[in-house]
Structure 1
Amino acid sequence: MKTISIDYIKDKVINGERITPEEALELYRNSDLTTLGMLADLVRKRKHPDNVVTFVIDRNVNYTNVCIAGCKFCAFYRRKSDEDAYTLDIDTILKKVEELVEWGGTTLLMQGGINPDLPLSFYEEMISTIREKFPQVQIHCFSAPEIVYLSKLEKMPIKEVLKRLKSAGLMSIPGGGAEVLSQEVRDKVSPGKCSVEEWEEVHRSAHDLGMTTTATMMFGHLESIEHILEHLDRVRRIQDETGGFTAFIPWTFQRGNTELDFVEPAGSPYYLKVLALSRIFLDNFTNVQSSHVTQTMPVGMVGLHFGANDLGSVMIEENVISSTEFKVSIPNVEDMVQAIKDAGFIPAQRDTYYRVVRRFS
């Protein structure tokens, strides 16, 4: 097999040319962290020459923690019989949305477990009520596994489920439930969730219906770099064909109260290398997010020099990562603005669609 010259690959990146998965693998294996960061930063500057870094004010409402998927990386889910299992009533959810609006938030992110007791009508009523009471809020909800399960529960095509939810007021879909889009990895860490092909079908169907979605990747567990590139290649191909992804959001698995606690935590160098490689490889994505939630704010700030142009969210509520032993520290708006400034960038608040709604001097 012919060896690919690292200088040749670097020149392609510098010249704005697309690299292949094979070239990306070579770049990852034979480039140091600084070189990958430099190349990723070059790509970021090309796409965002204004030096602006964005963030969103949102609330992550986990409407239920009952889940039958049993993912090995998850410390949040509960069985129906567990004492602390719950499903929020609509009044509680509306109160949480009201607090989001009072706080100046624009985005409602709702995700729950795969709860077999909740039919499609539950979701339609929940979304339509929120839409009626708070029309200014962007409803960014439900991961692909939730959509796929509803499709099977209702014996209805995935696209029809999405049509019904869109009619109720759903506006966009988060990329959760992707983990690593390699069936080999999913069979190990989340065998009870939808397949890679089903995840893709949900996002393609949403794009066909005019809804935007995000692409995510939760790594740092049982995957190899080849699996990560399989993931990146898939989402790049989808984006080529639909253009419906607003952003790519990678973050790392955190252990504590999970079945994968034997896995050594992913260190910051690995996170930053994967972040940089993602920015370089995903040439058709405008936005890439750095994770302060799973990597701490100092590392999140460094990620802005490794290709990211977004620092995620100021969240009123976060329950999933907090269920592990990882110490989650959620910044307020002032802290987020200062962090972006300290990293050398111009801070701006955005909405769900990555449109700037407020700039900070």
Structure 2
Amino acid sequence: MHTALLEELRAGVPLERRLAAASPGFRALLERVLAGGELDVDDGVRVLGAEGDDLLALLAVADAIRRTDVGDDVTYVVNRNINFTNICFVGCKFCAFKRQRWEADAYDAPIEVVLAKVQEAIDRGATEICMQGGINPDMEPFTYRDVLRAIKTAFPQIHMHAFSPMEILYGSRRTTMSYRDYLAMLKAEGLGTIPGTAAEILDDDVREVLSHKKVTVQNWIDIVTTAHELGIRSSSTMMYGHIETPRHMAEHVALLRRLQRLTGGFTEFVPLRFIHTDTELYREGLVGDPPPKGIYDLRVYAFSRLMLRGVIDNIQTSWVKLNHELAQVSLLAGANDFGGTLMEESISREAGADAGEYTSAEDMRALIAGVGRRAVERTTLYRKLEAGHTRAANGRSTHGDGARGRSGSGEVSPRPAPCC
């Protein structure tokens, strides 16, 4: 299906013909977005139900908007993901990564192991370390600070993209510090950006089913907006394909859109397909088999591009959730970023993902070229790195980091709370 759809999307059918084939009402909705209009939640729900000629028109419009707004370059980052502990008491039903501390395969990586992983990443050309882990009940109050300090002392050149809002919540409670003071402390130790994960679907009723112990919607908003106010930018995410409805998805993205207008701090939006195979949510029968990979995912990427137009420019595909081929096709449905090389990724793998844990920069460039687009390496904050850019002997890039105000791609933010 992916190959056939890829050929259909690459067939060069003019946008006008795709629009002409769509139903009149849906065509009017798409034309409104092309003219600069904004989708509301009801529009988003409608887009998520597009089928047939309406779907092909939707994908074509998302691709056209992507081309107009961010161009034809597809960016990627050379990074390493480090899941430093799998010990966790939160009990998310969508997660197969967590372990109790007494289980045989539970681990809490010593700092020497973490530092060795960072060194290996730098040796492979990484500019970013993405670091998250389980919520360990035995964690010392200042563990996150100490890990960050150790890494930045040894490798001051590396960008640290670390600690989800759930980890920030936990760390602030263990230290009895406010979110603001805790984040300011981490920033002083070298925290660059935070992952906008732990979002799943920002609806407390949904979250009660998925993980009743996890960060609430208001906690998540407070932590992320506080980080942005302190100049710590973040990604934004949505996990889809579980118990949520299209309305939940549309309301989630509309909320992120409002937050971005308030702070300007999101660098990108990443739709994350729920990997169900080995999760409690699936074993308990709370979710059935998800839709086959393909059309549903492309609809979500196109929906994301349309809903976030003019607010968050960068829509990142997740090759580890989708697979390489479908991630390629998503580049023709609104996505403009291929994410990171990762080098290791335990959370999706434990849940049953089969796309692997590492995609080299060379393979990324080949995959991107395979859909006729130019691959460009970037930094965490979406500064493009020149082809063949050099690093000093210690792995440091000779180019600085930078970001654009509304979504992390180059211009200075006019907002009073700096996010770059």
Q: Same fold (TM over 0.5)?
A: yes
Deviation at 1:57, TM superposition (A): 1.1
Aligned to 1:154: 175
TM-score normalised by length of structure 1: 0.95
> Which amino acid in the other structure matches residue 110 of structure 1?
M
Percent identity between matched residues is 37
Change (3 A) 1:62 1:20: same
Aligned to 2:11: none
Q: Deviations over 1:194-237 (max 9, x none)?
A: 00111111110010001110001111111110010111011000
Q: Identify which of 169, 188, 210 aligns with 2:231.
A: 210
CA distance in 2, matches of 1:153, 1:101: 32
Partner-residue secondary structure (3-state), 1:171: strand
8 A contact 1:347–1:359 mirrored in 2: no
8 A contact 2:142–2:171 mirrored in 1: no
Q: Identify which of 265, 274, 278 aligns with 2:300.
A: 274
CA distance in 2, matches of 1:120, 1:130: 18
CA distance in 2, matches of 1:108, 1:298: 25
8 A contact 2:59–2:302 mirrored in 1: yes
Aligned to 1:309: 336
Q: Identify which of 254, 269, 279 aligns with 2:275.
A: 254
8 A contact 2:203–2:248 mirrored in 1: yes
Q: Identify which of 144, 153, 166 aligns with 1:123.
A: 144
Aligned to 2:399: none
8 A contact 2:165–2:215 mirrored in 1: yes
Q: Identify which of 19, 32, 49 aligns with 1:12.
A: 32
For structure 1, list consecutive stretches of 5 or more residues without a partner in the other structure: none
CA distance in 1, matches of 2:108, 2:291: 32
8 A contact 1:257–1:324 mirrored in 2: yes
Matched positions, count: 356
Deviation at 1:359, TM superposition (A): 3.4
Partner-residue secondary structure (3-state), 2:212: coil
Partner-residue secondary structure (3-state), 2:98: coil
Deviation at 1:321, TM superposition (A): 0.9
Q: Please list, as runs of the form range in 1=range in 2, the aligned pairs for 1:53-202 lying within 5 A after superposition.
A: 53-202=74-223
8 A contact 2:83–2:346 mirrored in 1: yes
Q: Which runs of 4+ in 1 moved over 6 A?
A: none
8 A contact 2:324–2:355 mirrored in 1: no
Change (3 A) 1:30 1:334: closer
For structure 2, list consecutive stretches of 5 or more residues without a partner in the other structure: 1-23, 389-420
Deviation at 1:179, TM superposition (A): 0.8
Aligned to 2:321: 294
> Which amino acid in the other structure matches residue 34 of structure 1?
L
Q: Identify which of 355, 362, 379 aligns with 1:351.
A: 379
User: Does 2:353 correspond to 1:326?
Assistant: yes
Deviation at 1:351, TM superposition (A): 1.0
Deviation at 1:30, TM superposition (A): 4.6
CA distance in 2, matches of 1:70, 1:132: 33
CA distance in 1, matches of 2:224, 2:351: 28
CA distance in 1, matches of 2:291, 2:101: 32
Change (3 A) 1:135 1:266: farther
Change (3 A) 1:20 1:102: same
Partner-residue secondary structure (3-state), 2:145: helix
CA distance in 2, matches of 1:123, 1:167: 13
CA distance in 2, matches of 1:358, 1:182: 41
Partner-residue secondary structure (3-state), 1:113: coil
CA distance in 1, matches of 2:231, 2:163: 16
8 A contact 2:320–2:353 mirrored in 1: no
Q: Highest Rg: 1 or 2?
A: 2
> Which amino acid in the other structure matches residue 244 of structure 1?
G
CA distance in 2, matches of 1:14, 1:195: 35
> Which amino acid in the other structure matches residue 379 of structure 2?
D
User: Does 2:368 correspond to 1:340?
Assistant: yes
8 A contact 2:142–2:175 mirrored in 1: no
CA distance in 1, matches of 2:240, 2:362: 30
CA distance in 2, matches of 1:257, 1:24: 30
Aligned-residue CA RMSD (Å): 1.5
Q: Deviations over 1:127-184 (max 9, x none)?
A: 1111111111100000011111222222221111111111111110011111111112
Partner-residue secondary structure (3-state), 1:140: strand
Deviation at 1:332, TM superposition (A): 1.6
Q: Identify which of 222, 232, 238 aligns with 2:253.
A: 232
